[in-house]
Structure 1
């Protein structure tokens, strides 16, 4: 779609004063999908030269905000980490065309902040931490689980840029379980629940996304009971935090969340006893 309110496209390598009406341009799959009447200038990140994926000194993974879904998917299929299958499962949760896969960026998916964003699901479940760069040069780190605070609502300040997301080595070594529900075959996720079994202490973490307006994580000591998981979800997710749109009513999303959390508990409890 043509954005007929845009009067200038700037290279992000050229420092300039951030103005109202500016927007960062990564892959552009969202920006060019619908009218953006509030945008006057695009600041293009395409030539920043950021390495899409990099192994950190401690064995973790740094994902550049400009890394495409296709690049991440390819890397995940070749990786040796125990959590590697989760990468492909979340990439496939896009149910997108090959054009979207090759243009859409991990950072763009996070910065849209939509409940069904599968890159939010993946990076929140694997203890991801966002590196944010302010126009002043200040740097701060925010866990992905705290980065999205509502449907389309992020903690980004005006002009602040998501530079990368880092997944720690310990999370990459976790056993994982994945559940996703959509109302129809090629539909947007109505519930996406991920479980991770800590490789060190055997604790279980369940991350709820898509059914809720923000990522919500629950931690349990080894081999939690069904009652413990059910009670945690009851207490930890308010009724108004279940998302409501054409892709699923809150009651259905809640039902699938509880069902998948129990399935994950059973699956990873069995893994823990092997």
Structure 2
């Protein structure tokens, strides 16, 4: 779609080019959402792809993902065999309603900053205990991805703030993971996505998304019993269950409990079979 209100496009070459991001400005990376609908409030785009950030950087401490890394780069990279949790990247990208063209252009940072309930890459980074490096207008800070989104389409970012990168600790990448997704139609937007991560200590982390207004993280020191899992899910605030044409809150709550039980069973070793899709 043509954005006929845009009067200025700046190719950022350094951090100083990011100054002046105001109400009429937007950060441009992949642009797949920006160009998908009218942006009447905008008159200026700041293209951050010229900053030349390396898409993926790994070391002994873990994996760093640039905000400008594309979904295709994230999903299709061959990661070390001792990082089995990286399979969540491909599963998360596959859960999105996006063509191959979109995956080659859309960025990890864009998926995170859009903060859509069905943002599966955002959910995967949350499930893996990732941290986000934010360039605040007044300084830099690493914050947990689980805190980054505060509601549908809402993040901690304010005018002038930019998401620079995301980082996942190596220990979490060595974890076992499980993934479940359910939608009203085979190719429809996700109604519920549940991702599980079991650390070597035996601790289990369940991350709920698509069914909730933001990713919800449930932590257990060991595998919960069915009663413990049900009780924990019942404690989720009712207003966190998302309501849109892709699913009513009560349906989302019900199917999430089913998927959470399946993920827990798989990570217990009782049901090691493939993913529900």
TM-score in terms of structure 1 length? 0.94
Counterpart Cα distance in 1 of 2:75 and 2:80: 10
Deviations 1:22-75 (A, max 9, x none): 1000100000000111111000011110000000342x1100000000101111
Alignment correspondent of 1:172 = 173
Q: CA deviation at 1:135?
A: 2.9
Alignment correspondent of 2:36 = 33
Runs of 4+ in 1 over 4 A off after TM superposition: none
Counterpart Cα distance in 2 of 1:144 and 1:271: 30
Structure 2 unpaired stretches of 5+: 272-277
Counterpart Cα distance in 2 of 1:56 and 1:166: 11
SS of residue paired to 1:244 = coil
SS of residue paired to 1:9 = strand
Equivalent in 89, 105, 119 of residue 117 of structure 1: 119
Alignment correspondent of 1:104 = 106
SS of residue paired to 2:111 = helix
Alignment correspondent of 2:23 = 20
Q: Does structure 2 retain, via aligned residues, the 8 Å contact 1:18–1:135?
A: no
TM-score in terms of structure 2 length? 0.93
Alignment correspondent of 1:45 = 48
Deviations 1:62-104 (A, max 9, x none): 00000000101111x5442121221211111113111101000
Deviations 1:221-246 (A, max 9, x none): 222211111111111x2111111111
Aligned CA-pair RMSD: 1.4
The alignment status of 1:224 with 2:224, answered yes or no, reads yes
Deviations 1:98-125 (A, max 9, x none): 1101000000000000000011111000
Q: Does structure 2 retain, via aligned residues, the 8 Å contact 1:128–1:167?
A: yes
Q: How does 1:136-151 map to 2 (within 5 A)?
A: 136=138, 138-151=139-152
